[in-house]
Amino acid sequence: MKNSLAPLTFAFSLLFLAATAFAQPATRTPPPPSPEVHADRTVTFRFRAPHAQKVELSGQFLRSNQPMQKDESGLWSITVGPVEPNLYPYNFVVDGVGVADPVNPDIFPNEGFKASLVDIPGDTPGLHHLQDVPRGELTYAFYESKTLNRTRPLVIYTPPGYRAGKDKLPVFYLVSGTTDTEETWFRAGRLNVILDNLIAQKKAVPMIVVMPYGNMHVGMPRPDSPEVAAAYRVFGDELLTNIIPYVEANYRVIADREHRAIAGFPRGGGQSLFTAFNNPDKFAWIGSYAAYLTPEVCEKHFPSFIADAATTNARTKLLWLGVGKSDFLYQQAAAFNGYLTEKNIKHIELITEGGHTWMNARHYLAETLQLFFK
């Protein structure tokens, strides 16, 4: 496995560090390499902060924040693990404030906090590791939202061979979480790498994946509140009125419900369920990663989808719901699964170990990628 994203040793002159920095405090020592993943899968994290009183490591591989130790030069460090192979978000909590690892370019894109990513390789490459397979492309695009009167970003995956090809392809709309951006499914979710690998293994069919910016800036009530429906509806309108027409005008797609999927984590999952249930003529493939709707919202907004299970089941190619047992939304997600069962709505449940993590989100993504459009 070759991994270009992990930083190698940084060795640059002080002059050239200054050359690309700007009005920064003078740095007399080069930044420490961090994170350093050792052969035994222990990992050393380092952060230079001579004046901080307390620095902790926070990460999805930890049960709780771990205190880091300061040396006489002001360099804080900690070695943890061995850590189970996976790709994990982490950050440093410096006197109570979470900050990304300054010397790690592999960032976790988010509007509400800054974090970084660390990859712990296993004995064999993971689905999220670059392998020697044909590669798709990621395209950054902008579209005009007539409804929001704004230019908004999209990230679009096209599979290997798309540029030179002529075939029309199915499309999967993969929706971001509350404070995530259109980039989070690419960077923290490694959508492109996972799908390249699954297509090479013939476990997924070639498809286009559209990653919208899910934040509609309309506020976000709790998912168990009836008011959440109004917020979800703004996303659905944006998707149907602006995003799907943009994609269908610019990409070779099969523009019917049987070739259109939608899923997301976690607010993106709620938006996906609401949009798909509300528009059964538009989506035949539906995924929910650690998300749910309440019976109250379902019965108010799509009564026939729920009441007429025979029609719903005949039309829905897949309704897939995954959640971890330690997820703080587990009880609500499990209750939603039970509600669907009680209403005879056909669906697939996957209950895993673990919590509300990107390791689980990638797992659920990989599961659904292998089911869509088959």
Amino acid identity, position 283: F
Only segment of 7-15, 297-305, 342-350, 363-371 that touches a second copy (CB under 8 A): 7-15
Task: For a second copy, give the closer residue by CB, 8 or 39.
Answer: 8
Task: For a second copy, give the closer residue by CB, 267 or 363.
Answer: 267
Interhelix angle for 267-278 vs 228-238, to 10°?
70
Only segment of 34-42, 107-115, 200-208, 279-287 that touches a second copy (CB under 8 A): 107-115
Q: Tell me which of 81, 85, 109, 125 binds a second copy, using CB under 8 A.
A: 109
Task: For a second copy, give the closer residue by CB, 334 or 371.
Answer: 334
Q: Is residue 16 within the footprint of a second copy (CB under 8 A)?
A: yes
Q: Is residue 221 within the footprint of a second copy (CB under 8 A)?
A: yes
- Cα distance between residue 305 and residue 310, in whole Å: 9
Q: Which of 348, 197, 357, 373 is nearest to 287 (CA)?
A: 348
How many residues can be counted in the chain?
374
What lies within 8 Å, CB to CB, of 210 at 6+ separation is 154, 155, 156, 157, 171, 172, 173, 174, 243, 247
What is the per-residue DSSP string for 287-349?
EEES----HHHHHHH-HHHHH-HHHHHHH-SEEEEEEETT-TTHHHHHHHHHHHHHTT---EE
Only segment of 2-10, 37-45, 236-244, 278-286 that touches a second copy (CB under 8 A): 2-10
Only segment of 8-16, 278-286, 302-310, 311-319 that touches a second copy (CB under 8 A): 8-16
Of residues 133-172, those binding a second copy (CB under 8 A): 135, 137-142, 144, 149-153, 163
Task: For a second copy, give the closer residue by CB, 236 or 270.
Answer: 270
Of residues 42-101, those binding a second copy (CB under 8 A): 48-54, 58-60, 62-65, 89, 91, 93-100
Q: Is residue 279 within the footprint of a second copy (CB under 8 A)?
A: no
- Cα distance between residue 233 and residue 150, in whole Å: 18
Task: For a second copy, give the closer residue by CB, 114 or 257.
Answer: 114
Q: Determine which helix (DSSP H) or strand (DSSP E) holds 361, and give its type and residue range.
A: helix 358-369
Q: Is residue 113 within the footprint of a second copy (CB under 8 A)?
A: yes
- Cα distance between residue 325 and residue 336, in whole Å: 14
Maximum alpha-carbon separation in the chain: 70
Task: For a second copy, give the closer residue by CB, 7 or 295.
Answer: 7
Q: How far is the CB of 114 from a second copy (least distance, A)?
A: 5
Q: Is residue 119 within the footprint of a second copy (CB under 8 A)?
A: no
- Whether the CB-CB separation of 45 and 141 falls below 8 Å is answered with no
Q: How far is the CB of 178 from a second copy (least distance, A)?
A: 4
Q: How far is the CB of 135 from a second copy (least distance, A)?
A: 6
Interhelix angle for 358-369 vs 191-200, to 10°?
40
